Amino acid sequence: MIIVNLRVNFDLLYLYNLNMLTQKYFNMKTCQILHKQLKNLYFHKYNYSKAKDVNIEDNERMTHFGFKEVKESEKAKQVHTVFENIANNYDKMNDIMSLGIHRIWKDIFIQELAPTHGTRLLDCAAGTGDISFRYINFLKNTKNINSVESYVTVCDINEYMLDVGKIRAERLGYTVENNCNIEWKKEDAENLNFPDESFTAYTIAFGIRNVTHIDKVLSEAYRVLKPGGRFLCLEFTHLENDFLQWLYEQYSFQVIPVMGTLVTGKWEPYQYLAESIKKFPKQEDFKHMIDMSGFRNTSYKNLSCGIVAIHSGFKI
């Protein structure tokens, strides 16, 4: 009976020392036996519980944040912090780091999209709105024969980037008051709050390498596109020539973080930029991921020898 009671209440009873047990049962030998049994039971439970906690922690999936391995649940927070810290200097640093070439890449990107009047564009991970503004300009320079409305939804998970984009839009005149059908939304590209088949085009430029689950982003892009809709992605990738790739990596890892420090006072965000580019899948591998998400007629076009690539796919 004593053993049974001790098994039921061993967590509490283990707090008593051997002298207290001795006083209760008046038998030192018996108490020593009970104490040993109680100790074994206690530590068996403690170690089992601890092992379960370790297993739970160990079973949480890991992913990369640049070259670091982090928990999947932590990556989005760390990426958010990166862009929060550089939002105010984002556009300036794009010009400095790329020597202005990013503007040409984005112009080619919109020319590749070739939107027509009546297009409903979702510009995802849109940052400060570069692609959306080019989309609006492209349509302004084409005739609207049927007088149909076009729309763009600028979305990003980082409200700081969106705030900078809204200020730019006001300054450049890309507003509803100026007959621009543009709206700004804070959205997670992995879990969009839009109904199925809402858009005729989906763009994402220099954003998909920062997400935790690329496959989820592609799946969401497919879901929100109408049949016949087009997916278009502009992203850093891998150069076709090994020597040029080596030169580019020297520039990315040795020069860009120094530039970032001189202009913004921050090294880490630009070190992450270089590392995230290095970790992004090669062109054929990313094309395969787009295929696996359901898109058809997929293709890619390298720009600047493969520093960046435009990936395309259609929802059939």
Query: Annotated binding site for S-adenosyl-L-methionine, which residues?
Result: 128, 156, 188-189
Nearest by Cα to 235 from 196, 208, 273: 208
| DSSP collapsed to 3 states, 141-170 | CCCCCCCCCCEEEEEECCHHHHHHHHHHHH
Q: Give the phi and the psi of residue 31 in degrees, each rounded to 5.
A: -65, -35
Q: Identify which of 303, 108, 104, 64 has the alpha carbon closest to the alpha carbon of residue 203.
A: 108
Q: Are the CB atoms for 236 and 307 separated by under 8 Å?
A: yes
Q: End-to-end CA distance of the chain, in Å?
A: 73
Count of CB atoms within 10 A of residue 254's CB?
10
Q: Six-digit token pair at 65?
A: 């944040």
In whole angstroms, give the CA distance from residue 76 to residue 73.
Answer: 7
Binding-site annotation, residues: 128, 156, 188-189
